[in-house]
């Protein structure tokens, strides 16, 4: 099996290298054949591994020693268990769909081969991240996916907004990684190892260790968890490090689906789930995670209401859904978080690719105010996006219903500090989610076509390489929720991979609700339970309200926006966070840099000390040089003067 | 040959340099180029047995040679390498090949002298790393200035005279104090110039501190540490590309090497006493210099400031006194050799075409020069410390080591993740990406095969060391452990 584990990332890397270095020689067909072939093999092998793991064969072993220093062996190796196998299947499946879709989406682009090379490289990096058995390799994969994200957001490197967005994404992620790296340093300091198994085994025995800081006495485990979570906040775009994700929409749509919705941005969720043995030891850290997630879930959903760019609506919805997953992590429902990660990967990739299909048809127009009435012209795109929106809104029996309902119920059962706030946030979020999802759907596909004459004439359904991935993603968006609901909540799915303390085990409480039911009985019970609960009616309310606003009474949204004038502006300005960062951090660094350069480096050190001492030496030597006139008379006079002085000294003993 | 390999590595380049000087005027430039390339490759190949024949289980000096030189003062021609100097010698022989290739077409005047200067400098630099006698070390140390002085002064830019004099005075002032320290130690040790003898010399705290500062003056200037760093940006800006590469890749490492070979083992108590100062200056370099780098408008100045910022990790790693710190410092020195060398070569590639180093003269270079852009982005990422590149290894280990010593050091040092990426990627954004704004940029020719070769070699090194640094770390462990044990023992009488 070890060969198979190794082959999975390496086939993707191979495809990336071939398409990247020899793209010109092998041509477009060659490039997409080799990369799609690689990812397809990776997907099939991931299924083999997944099946093997379901049969109980987990693996934890090293490939090679990356470095040995100070008695610590830092390795590159794999940990294959229920968690990583699940992630591998999700990553390779979505990646495969996106690869195929790209043939259609990018077919006119001169950077075709480069694009395929990047997305295969991304798949490699993401696989290394999820398959890692240690903190170091996790960080490797972590930064490598960040690199590819940087390259892909800036894929159209002549576009100013794109190359601003990619730098912003990289730097904001680096702020997160700053915390992450210090977290790794703290792990190494406390446990003297970077190996998951070693660290997790020793975690309990170090739970009493504390560190004294200017901010009081802290448990080391809390410090470690908070630092690692800062990394997760960067990658998974949690408030206040969320600013890069909406801007990342400047990249081509396939990567928005793959990287900025389905896989990379969920790395932070994966990280916390993987670290469950550490987070379980710190309720402070869990509360912090919970409150951060709830804030992201609600406040980002609000921004989603006022966006008119089709991709940005989906982007804010991604932010909000990542908030839901983080909330689940905060209440120790790690399994549920990964469950939602999985269903979300399918329906969000579907929505993004659907949006991309619309964008192709609209000749790269992304403003929904110029769309409308596409339903009849693009039936497959419409149908699949409708399914995706139902799943996102959490309508039973679609996939999102099961995972989101499980999150909300988990929060309900939690007694952690902040759970009350989170419960309200996620409930209100349900209404907002349903509203903006269907706002998108109604504005794009219903009503009158508001496109210009030229675009309208050419409007057509997208080609098969585009629609087939939509259909293939629609299938799990419908059924993945139900299939995995049972195993996830009864705890059998993740087995040993996730550790939860009994007093935090909200999922067990959730399982009690459905005690003894399985199969179709469980399905009926869950759906029955769902439609008599608040979230379902909030979602229905959101959909109906969206229908009323965007199909019936089209003037209403404007009136509401005007009525809430100042509030609307705050939300439209994204709470002013972007401007604040731009002024404070980007501007501040430049001012400081200029100040240091002008006054400290050039002014003080060079001006005063270096050139100053040179000038002083010059001044003294010039003064002394005056004495050396070269005239005998002057020297003779000086000698006589000297002799007189000396004699005086001897005679009077001065 | 085994037992005088170091002598060969020192004198063969110098003799080769003299031979190339003999080819005469520029009419025979092709011969001079070929000879220089042949010799530099040959010397690199000759230096490989230093690694393959190295016994990493001992901290003792290896490949030792000893012959009497000036007997009346007990001065010996004494050579040897350990796990710290050996990798630096290999770095020297490897990068000399690169700079010879880099100067191949670009240098058209006084070709023989140019090539000879680099070969002679190679020999002298190897001499610095291999000397075990203080006087021999001092001779090589000072001799090294001459070829570099000439390289900047002859093939340099318009403001080269100011730059060379600043460079020369700065470094000379520092090394004179080092000479004073040697004379003091000579007297204290009852007439020995052996560096290894000094390691076992008992010294009071006050003399230790004075000696520490005397050495500090020499090495801090070379590293360069804040606040004696201002010569470096000027020197880099005026130096020809090859000069910048050697300056950044090898000569700066002499400072770090000096701290390891002299300050730490000779004055361990003073080193511990002053560790806070070294760490503070290092952290100032990491943060303050990074901010200064951010506002540079000249690419070479930006990379020069970036060098200073990265070298802050070397001095920080050394003075946290643990294996991860010291080994991280070594890795940082080696990696910085590749990365800064590569970045200076990249700027050289652009400068050769447009004769401007100003960031605003470029923009959109990726469009006419896609292959070059790929290299540039790779090296920029390495400069930002991306895992998988060599730039990560040293910074990672130093941050790990610093955390164990004082978490605040690690916190401040880790800011480089943000600032290092900020100044590097902002430069990439303005130079490589964007629309082509200038007509002369639109017609730029992509890198030719000579340029691809030199950049590809460095790219391979950056990636190999990043993916698998262990082979380099392996040869250091014993030496570093020995050094740390040594510095842990007080030498107060």
CB atoms within 10 A of CB B491: 20
Nearest CA in chain B to A211: B407
Q: With a CB-CB cutoff of 8 Å, which residues 411-470 of chain B face chain A?
A: 411, 414-415, 417-419, 421-422, 425-426, 429, 432-436, 467-470
What pLDDT was estimated at residue A520?
Answer: 84
Judged on CB neighbours under 10 Å (0-12, 13-18, 19+), A624 is: exposed
Task: Check if the beta carbon of residue A124 is closer than 8 Å to that of residue A12.
Answer: yes
Rounded distance between C-alpha atoms, residue A76 and residue B363, angstroms: 39
What pLDDT was estimated at residue A434?
Answer: 94
Give yes or no for B492 touching A (CB within 8 A): no
Q: Which long-range contacts (CB under 8 A, 24 or more apart) does A583-592 make?
A: A589/B291, A589/B294, A589/B419, A589/B422, A590/B294, A590/B295, A592/B291
Render pLDDT for A351-403 as a digit per residue (tens, 0 to 9).
999 999 999 888 888 899 888 888 888 999 999 999 999 999 999 889 999 99
> Among A184, A202, A204, A203, which Cα is nearest to A194's?
A184
> Among B37, B50, B92, B236, which Cα is nearest to B151's?
B236
Helices vs. strands in chain A: H and E counts, helices first: 29, 4
What pLDDT was estimated at residue B253?
Answer: 93
Render pLDDT for A169-219 as a digit per residue (tens, 0 to 9).
999 999 999 999 999 999 999 999 999 999 999 998 888 888 888 888 889
Task: Check if the beta carbon of residue B389 is closer than 8 Å to that of residue B463.
Answer: yes
Q: With a CB-CB cutoff of 8 Å, which residues 126-185 of chain B face chain A?
A: 166, 169-170
Render pLDDT for B209-231 as a digit per residue (tens, 0 to 9).
999 999 999 999 998 998 889 88
Token representation of residue A209: 């260790």
Residue from the list A594, A605, A609 with its beta carbon closest to the beta carbon of B295: A594
Render pLDDT for A397-425 as a digit per residue (tens, 0 to 9).
899 999 999 999 999 998 899 999 999 99
| Residues written for chain A | 654
- Burial code (b: 16+ CB inside 10 Å, e: under 16) for B55-94 equals ebeebebbbebeeebeeeebbbbbbbbbbbbbbbbbbbbb
**Alpha-carbon torsion B284, B285, B288, B290, what sign?**
negative
**Alpha-carbon torsion B455, B457, B458, B460, what sign?**
positive
What pLDDT was estimated at residue B412?
Answer: 95
What pLDDT was estimated at residue A574?
Answer: 87
Token representation of residue A228: 């690692």
Token representation of residue A337: 């978080």
Rounded distance between C-alpha atoms, residue B22 and residue B112, angstroms: 8
Rounded distance between C-alpha atoms, residue A498 and residue A541, angstroms: 36
Contacts of A280 (CB under 8 A, 6+ apart): A286, A332, A499, A500, A501, A504
Q: Using a CB-CB distance cutoff of 8 angstroms, which residues of chain B are in contact with residue A139?
A: 387
Tokens 């042949």 map to which residue?
B38
Contacts of A262 (CB under 8 A, 6+ apart): A90, A94, A344, A345, A346, A348, A349, A352
Nearest CA in chain B to A66: B468
HSE on the CB side for B230, CA within 13 Å?
Answer: 21
Q: Using a CB-CB distance cutoff of 8 angstroms, which residues of chain B are in contact with residue A65?
A: 470
Supply the DSSP symbol for B225. Answer: P
HSE on the CB side for B156, CA within 13 Å?
Answer: 24
Q: Which ipTM score applies to this complex?
A: 0.92
Render pLDDT for B285-304 as a digit per residue (tens, 0 to 9).
999 999 999 999 999 999 99
Nearest CA in chain B to A160: B434
Q: Do B434 and A144 touch (CB under 8 A)?
A: no
Q: Do A601 and B292 touch (CB under 8 A)?
A: yes
What pLDDT was estimated at residue A555?
Answer: 86
Task: Tell me the average pLDDT across B260-269.
Answer: 93
What pLDDT was estimated at residue B2?
Answer: 54
Task: Check if the beta carbon of residue A304 is closer than 8 Å to that of residue A249.
Answer: no
Q: Integer distance in angstroms from the first to the last C-alpha of chain B?
A: 42
Rounded distance between C-alpha atoms, residue A100 and residue B69, angstroms: 74
HSE on the CB side for B5, CA within 13 Å?
Answer: 22
Contacts of A404 (CB under 8 A, 6+ apart): A324, A340, A394, A430, A535
H or E element at residue A365: none
B1 — pLDDT class (breaks 50, 70, 90): very low
Rounded distance between C-alpha atoms, residue A452 and residue A349, angstroms: 28
Nearest CA in chain A to B411: A182
CB atoms within 10 A of CB B37: 15
Give yes or no for B397 touching A (CB within 8 A): yes
CB atoms within 10 A of CB A640: 10
CA distance B242 to chain A (A): 26
**How far from A270 is each of A10, A342, A571, B223, B393, CA to CA, in Å?**
22, 11, 30, 42, 25
pLDDT mean across residues, chain B: 92
> Among A177, A49, A50, A166, which Cα is nearest to A118's?
A166
Cα angle for residues B280, B284, B287 (degrees, 5° grid): 135
Task: Check if the beta carbon of residue A242 is closer than 8 Å to that of residue A177.
Answer: no
Q: Using a CB-CB distance cutoff of 8 angstroms, which residues of chain B are in contact with residue A160?
A: 434-435
Task: Check if the beta carbon of residue A416 is closer than 8 Å to that of residue A287.
Answer: yes
Q: Name the stretches of chain A with pLDDT < 50.
A: none
pTM, two decimals, is 0.92
Task: Check if the beta carbon of residue A433 is closer than 8 Å to that of residue A322.
Answer: no
Tokens 């329906």 map to which residue?
A347
What pLDDT was estimated at residue A292?
Answer: 95
The pairing of beta strand B62-70 with beta strand A216-219: unpaired
Rounded distance between C-alpha atoms, residue B466 and residue B485, angstroms: 28
Q: Do B327 and A70 touch (CB under 8 A)?
A: yes
Helix axes A464-489 and A399-413, enclosed angle (nearest 10): 30
CA distance A455 to chain B (A): 27
Residue from the list A181, A186, A605 with its beta carbon closest to the beta carbon of B417: A181
Task: Check if the beta carbon of residue A278 is closer than 8 Å to that of residue A406.
Answer: no
> Among A14, A121, A136, A122, which Cα is nearest to A63's?
A136
Task: Check if the beta carbon of residue B328 is closer than 8 Å to that of residue B319.
Answer: no
Bond prior to A244 in cis (omega within 30° of 0):
no
Q: Using a CB-CB distance cutoff of 8 angstroms, which residues of chain A are in contact with residue B322?
A: 70
Q: Bin B348: left if φ > 0, else alpha if -120 < ψ < 50, else beta.
A: alpha
């Amino acid at each position: 099996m070890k060969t198979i584990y190794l082959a999975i990332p390496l086939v993707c890397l191979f495809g990336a290298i071939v398409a990247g270095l020899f793209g010109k020689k092998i041509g477009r067909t060659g490039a997409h054949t080799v990369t799609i072939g690689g990812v397809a093999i990776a997907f099939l092998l991931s299924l083999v591994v997944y099946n093997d793991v379901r049969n109980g064969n987990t693996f934890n072993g090293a490939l090679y020693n990356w470095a040995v220093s100070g008695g610590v062996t830092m390795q590159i190796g794999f940990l294959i268990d229920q968690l990583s196998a699940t992630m591998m299947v999700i990553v390779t499946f979505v990646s495969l769909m996106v690869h195929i879709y790209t043939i259609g989406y990018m077919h006119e682009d001169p950077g075709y081969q480069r694009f395929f090379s990047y997305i295969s490289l991304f798949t490699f990096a993401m696989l290394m991240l999820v398959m890692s058995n240690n903190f170091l390799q996790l960080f490797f994969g972590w930064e490598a996916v960040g690199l590819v994200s940087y390259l892909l957001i800036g894929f159209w490197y002549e576009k100013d907004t794109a190359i601003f967005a990619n730098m912003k994404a990289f730097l904001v992620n680096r702020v997160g990684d700053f915390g992450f790296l210090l977290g790794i340093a703290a792990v190494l300091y406390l446990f003297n190892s970077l190996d998951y198994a070693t660290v997790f085994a020793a975690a309990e025995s170090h739970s009493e260790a504390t560190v004294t800081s200017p901010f009081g006495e802290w448990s080391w485990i809390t410090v470690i968890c908070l630092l690692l979570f800062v990394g997760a906040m960067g990658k998974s775009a949690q408030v206040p490090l969320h600013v890069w994700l909406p801007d990342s929409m400047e990249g081509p749509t396939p990567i928005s689906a793959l990287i900025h919705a389905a896989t990379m941005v969920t790395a932070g969720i994966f990280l916390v789930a993987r670290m469950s043995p550490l987070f379980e030891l710190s309720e402070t850290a869990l509360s912090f995670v919970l409150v951060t997630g709830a804030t992201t879930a609600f406040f980002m959903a609000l921004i989603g209401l006022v966006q008119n760019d089709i991709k940005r609506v989906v982007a804010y919805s991604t932010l909000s859904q990542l908030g839901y997953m983080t909330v689940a992590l905060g209440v120790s429902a790690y399994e549920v978080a990964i469950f939602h990660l999985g269903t979300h990967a399918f329906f969000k990739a579907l929505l993004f690719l659907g949006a991309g299909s619309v964008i192709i048809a609209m000749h790269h127009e992304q403003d929904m105010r110029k769309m409308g009435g596409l339903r009849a012209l693009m039936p497959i795109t419409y149908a699949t996006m409708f399914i995706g929106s139902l799943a996102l809104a959490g309508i039973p029996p679609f996939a999102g219903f099961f995972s989101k309902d499980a999150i909300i119920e988990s929060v309900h059962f939690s007694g952690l500090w902040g759970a009350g706030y989170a419960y309200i946030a996620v409930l209100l979020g349900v209404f907002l989610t349903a509203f903006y999802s269907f706002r998108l759907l109604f504005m794009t596909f219903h009503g009158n076509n508001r496109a210009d004459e030229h675009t309208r004439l050419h409007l057509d359904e997208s080609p098969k390489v585009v629609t087939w991935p939509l259909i293939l993603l629609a299938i799990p968006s419908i059924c993945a929720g139900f299939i995995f609901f049972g195993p996830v909540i009864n705890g059998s799915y993740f087995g040993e991979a996730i550790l939860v303390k009994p007093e935090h085990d909200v999922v067990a409480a959730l399982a009690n609700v459905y005690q003894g039911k399985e199969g179709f009985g469980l399905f009926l019970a869950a759906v029955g339970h769902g439609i008599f609960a608040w979230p379902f009616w909030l979602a229905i309310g959101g959909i109906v309200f969206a229908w009323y606003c965007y199909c019936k009474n089209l003037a209403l949204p404007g009136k509401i926006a005007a009525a809430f004038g100042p509030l609307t502006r705050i939300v439209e300005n994204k709470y002013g966070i972007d401007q604040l960062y731009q002024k404070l951090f980007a501007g501040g660094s430049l001012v400081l840099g200029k100040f240091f350069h002008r006054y400290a480096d050039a002014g003080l050190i060079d001006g005063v000390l270096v050139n100053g001492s040179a000038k002083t030496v010059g001044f003294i030597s010039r003064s002394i040089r005056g004495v050396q006139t070269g005239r005998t008379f002057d020297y003779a006079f000086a000698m006589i003067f000297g002799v007189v002085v000396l004699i005086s000294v001897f005679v009077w003993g001065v | 040959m085994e037992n005088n390999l170091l002598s060969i590595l020192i004198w063969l380049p110098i003799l080769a340099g003299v031979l190339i000087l003999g080819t005469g005027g520029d009419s025979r430039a092709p011969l001079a180029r070929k000879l220089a390339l042949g010799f530099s490759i040959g010397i690199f190949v000759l230096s490989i047995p230093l690694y393959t024949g190295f016994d990493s289980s001992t901290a003792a000096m290896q490949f030792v040679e000893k012959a009497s030189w000036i007997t009346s003062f007990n001065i010996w021609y004494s050579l040897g390498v350990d796990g710290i100097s050996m990798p630096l010698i290999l770095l020297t022989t490897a990068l000399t090949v690169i700079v010879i290739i880099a100067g191949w077409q670009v240098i058209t005047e006084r070709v023989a002298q140019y090539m000879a200067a680099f070969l002679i400098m190679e020999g002298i630099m190897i001499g610095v790393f291999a000397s075990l006698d203080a006087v021999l070390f001092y001779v090589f140390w000072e001799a090294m200035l001459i070829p570099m002085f000439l390289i900047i002064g002859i093939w340099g830019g318009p403001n080269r005279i100011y730059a060379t004099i600043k460079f020369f005075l700065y470094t000379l002032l520092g090394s004179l104090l080092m000479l004073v320290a040697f004379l003091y130690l000579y007297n204290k040790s009852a007439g020995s110039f052996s560096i290894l003898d000094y390691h076992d010399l008992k010294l009071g705290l006050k003399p230790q501190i004075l000696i520490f500062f005397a050495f500090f003056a020499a090495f801090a200037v070379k590293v360069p540490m804040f606040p004696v760093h201002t010569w470096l940006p000027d020197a880099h800006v005026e130096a020809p590309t090859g000069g910048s590469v050697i300056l950044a890749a090898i000569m700066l490492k002499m400072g770090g090497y000096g701290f390891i070979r002299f300050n730490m083992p000779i004055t361990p108590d003073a080193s511990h006493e002053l560790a806070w100062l070294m760490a503070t200056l290092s952290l100032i370099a990491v943060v303050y210099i990074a901010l200064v780098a951010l506002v540079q408008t000249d690419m070479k100045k930006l990379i020069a400031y970036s060098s200073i910022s990265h070298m802050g990790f070397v001095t920080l790693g050394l003075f946290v006194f643990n294996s991860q710190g010291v080994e991280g410092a070594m890795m940082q020195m080696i990696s910085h050799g590749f990365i800064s060398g590569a970045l200076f070569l990249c700027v050289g590639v652009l400068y050769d075409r447009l004769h401007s180093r100003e960031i605003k003269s470029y923009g959109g270079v990726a469009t006419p020069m896609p292959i070059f852009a790929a290299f540039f982005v790779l090296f920029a990422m390495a400069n930002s410390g991306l895992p998988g590149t060599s730039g990560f290894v040293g910074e990672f280990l130093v941050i790990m080591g610093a955390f164990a010593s004082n978490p605040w050091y690690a916190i401040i040092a880790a800011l480089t993740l943000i600032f290092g990426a900020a100044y590097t990627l902002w430069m990439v954004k303005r130079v490589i990406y964007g629309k082509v704004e200038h007509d002369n940029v639109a017609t730029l020719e992509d890198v030719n095969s000579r340029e691809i070769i030199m950049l590809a070699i460095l790219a391979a090194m950056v990636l190999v060391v990043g993916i698998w640094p262990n082979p380099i770390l392996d040869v250091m462990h014993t030496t570093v452990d020995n050094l740390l044990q040594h510095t842990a023992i007080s030498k107060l009488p």
